[in-house]
Amino acid sequence: MAFGPIMRFKVGDLDIELAPLTHESMSEFVNLSHGGGMQRHQVTRYLGRRLAPTVEDEHEWFDKTRADRTSIVWGIWVIDGNERILIGNSALNGIGEDGHTGFIRQATSGSMIFRPEYWGKGIASAAHKARTWYAFQHLGLHRIKSAVIHGNGGSSKALGRSGYTFVYTERNETFVDGRLRHMDCFECLNPLDLFWRQWWNGDKPPAESLKARRLTRGVMAWAEENVTLP
């Protein structure tokens, strides 16, 4: 695994591409000419990071990721004519079978846009939708898990638009900007009939899960119409 295949879609007037990262592109995550990226507290404060990464750190992360057979990672690129602008990444981590059942396949998702000028444009939500569609339609996962530190409302909204539902809160998970912060944990369930039946295994899904299933079906329909796998 390591890196996922190219996926393309539009967000408003922007052409977006999820594509594999390269060793050379990793310097963009800390490029001072673009504001410093992940060296900025504004970007990393809800990511559980205390130290600013260097180019060497990013290259080391790339090498580890490339060798990881339980994750799929995409760079998030804005395509502007002949220019490809790297603005973040999106990932499915810990892909595999659940250790308790030996049957249910799940993963943990995460994403980050390190250029604030691209926040609030709907790019993260669309990338979540494309990633969710790929996880369910092409990997056959039953569930995707994710988590958001309190204060990061944009990430919570982006997950909600993709069909993630709140599961529980981990209290006092981290310390950010002078105060302890809780962390909300979310899940997104594969809405396709086979996986839905296997997940619930005869139990009656609660109303909130049924509502989320309808939303995730909408996400899948959006991706089928708007996401291309060239």
Q: Where are the alpha helices (DSSP H) in the chain?
A: 41-44, 55-67, 123-133, 153-161, 193-200, 207-226
The total of other beta-carbon atoms located within 10 Å of residue 143's CB is 18
pTM of the model: 0.93
CATH number, residue 164: 3.40.630.30
CA distance 109 to 117: 23
Model pLDDT, residue 98? 59
CA distance 69 to 42: 31
12: left (phi over 0), alpha (psi -120 to 50) or beta: left
Residue 99 is part of which domain span? 2-226
Q: How many domains does the chain have?
A: 1
CA distance 93 to 81: 32
Model pLDDT, residue 154? 87
pLDDT tens string, the chain, 230 residues long: the values are: 699 999 999 999 999 999 999 999 999 999 998 899 999 999 999 998 888 999 999 999 999 999 999 999 999 999 998 999 999 999 999 998 555 556 889 999 999 999 999 999 999 999 999 999 999 999 999 999 999 999 999 899 888 888 899 999 999 999 999 999 999 999 999 999 999 999 999 999 999 999 999 999 999 999 999 999 99
